[in-house]
Structure 1
Amino acid sequence: MTATLPAASGGFRFVPGVYQYSAGVAAEPGFRIERVRFADPLSMAEGFARIAAALEAAGRPKAAFCACELRSPAPFTEDGFAAFNREYGAVLTEWGIFLDGKNPVARSNVCPEIAPPATPSFHAFSYTVPDANAAPSFVVAGSGESAEGKSSYREHTVALGDLSPAGMLKKGQYVLGEMERRMQALGFAWKDTTGVQVYTVHDLYPFLGSEIVKRGAARHGLTWQFCRPPVRDLEYEMDCRGVAIERVLPAA
């Protein structure tokens, strides 16, 4: 099981991942994670500014920013995704977020198939708040059906190009297993989730009961967002969380 690392100044710990995000975060004792969703997607620049303002208003440092959910216009090429991640990472670097070269912030980034944003945008973010009596809370980053941190996504994609029921089952099983691995590293399981999201434009009903519901991943229902993963040729993504407090931030 992957060991977690502390983000002490932020009040959470994280599962090391790749440059652009950690695999997941959990609040340290004495803290809770809160999730904030924007009423409408905000461009990256505006989103970062609103997040900074929200943290300041809550009396929290930028280091308390522990997770985010992005929306992009369409799946990137591998080179395009790398370029986007460098831009995103540059802001985290400016904020002093990276710890010994590791990114502690968990992230999902998906592409709405219908009515996508014009530019990459923020959908939601999470941050830590001091709370001596808080129940454990966590956010697991999104994962598609490809091993991360390799030479390319395409070369390591499960059932590449196979959109048959059998192919989608293999993709779903891989991603469900990755969710479980990340939760286990943080000390959690499906029974601890308060929200589970799946992102695909393909039919997941053939394995909804046998894989998702049977594992306990839909204990509070399942949010199916009609979106694609952020890199071309990926077809199925999930993320999950166990967060007691969530709210919507209205448009400015």
Structure 2
Amino acid sequence: MMSTKDFAPGGYRYVPGVFQYSAGVAALPGHVIERVRFANPVPLKEGFARIAQIIGAAGRPLTSFCACELRSPAPFTEEGFKAFNAIYAGTLQEWGLFETGDNPVARSNVCPEINPPAEPSFHAFSYVRAEEGAPSFVVAGSGEAPEGRDSYGGHAIAPGDRSPEGLRQKARWVLGEMERRMGALGFAWADTTAVQLYTVYDIHPFLGEEIVTRGAARHGLTWHFNRPPLVSLDYEMDCRGVALERVVAG
């Protein structure tokens, strides 16, 4: 059963996940999450520098960085994904985000099918502000495979099956994972302000029955024509309940 841990230096709590990211985050009392989206993807190194400037200008420590949304050129192999995660996590360690021994930062990392960036880049990030406001949370992206196993492809739901029924099975599992992660944080679909879906396959045969009827599209559904970050996966989602959002130049 999922549970949360407090990350006091950042002003949030998180659902422990795997080395590269947590399963989700929620602001602690007296804090709120703000999401910042870049108008265009910003390469990883430059993106971290831009993020540090934005967080610093808000008078917050780098440890308040709590979630990010990445865009990569193409899906990784299992080994390539591990190598990328080691590079990404290096900056988080420098920023003091591994202070508790876990990585508390939630993440989505997907691959645009058309006009992808030339290198891994930031699409958006979230950080925690010290102010009163409505409870806020961000759930990390999940594809159709349990995390923390020896591989993703070896445990994928309906592997290689892109038929309507195969995609429905993938969607059901991912929707269930979103619900498990939100539940651990104390939230549900009724608390979301945005839900994002990433796939290049047709979701219309099950959109109404599997997504809309369970409340996962209460504010609409943002469908990105992107692939999950691993060649073995076909369907990914994330969600959030965040009142403060803005767009900055990319």
TM value normalised by structure 2: 0.99
Aligned residue type for 2:51: I
Paired residues for 1:2-81 under 5 Å: 2-81=2-81
The yes-or-no answer on 1:155 pairing with 2:117 is: no
Identity %: 68
Helix, strand or coil for the counterpart of 1:139?
strand
Pairwise CA distance, 1:250: 1.2
RMSD: 0.6
Paired residues for 1:138-177 under 5 Å: 138-177=137-176
The yes-or-no answer on 1:184 pairing with 2:169 is: no
* Partner residue, 2:224: 225
| Deviation readout 1:36-75 (Å, 9 max, x if unpaired) | 0001100000000000000110000000000000000000
Helix, strand or coil for the counterpart of 1:101?
coil
Pairwise CA distance, 1:233: 1.6
Equivalent-residue separation in structure 2 for 1:205 and 1:67 (angstroms): 29
* Partner residue, 1:249: 248
* Partner residue, 1:99: 99
Helix, strand or coil for the counterpart of 2:151?
coil
Gaps of 5+ in 2: none
* Partner residue, 1:128: 128
* Partner residue, 2:215: 216
Alignment length, in residue pairs? 250
Q: 2:27 touches 2:135 (CA, 8 Å); kept in 1? A: yes
Equivalent-residue separation in structure 2 for 1:233 and 1:11 (angstroms): 35
Aligned residue type for 1:166: E
Q: 2:75 touches 2:228 (CA, 8 Å); kept in 1? A: yes
Aligned residue type for 1:89: A
Aligned residue type for 1:63: T
| Deviation readout 1:91-148 (Å, 9 max, x if unpaired) | 111111113320000000000000000000000000000113x110000000000111
Equivalent-residue separation in structure 1 for 2:148 and 2:43 (angstroms): 27
Equivalent-residue separation in structure 2 for 1:118 and 1:162 (angstroms): 29
Equivalent-residue separation in structure 2 for 1:73 and 1:149 (angstroms): 24
Pairwise CA distance, 1:9: 1.0
The yes-or-no answer on 1:204 pairing with 2:191 is: no
Equivalent-residue separation in structure 2 for 1:6 and 1:147 (angstroms): 24
Equivalent-residue separation in structure 2 for 1:75 and 1:101 (angstroms): 28
Equivalent-residue separation in structure 1 for 2:238 and 2:40 (angstroms): 20
The yes-or-no answer on 1:118 pairing with 2:130 is: no
Pairwise CA distance, 1:163: 0.6
TM value normalised by structure 1: 0.98
Gaps of 5+ in 1: none
Equivalent-residue separation in structure 2 for 1:30 and 1:190 (angstroms): 23
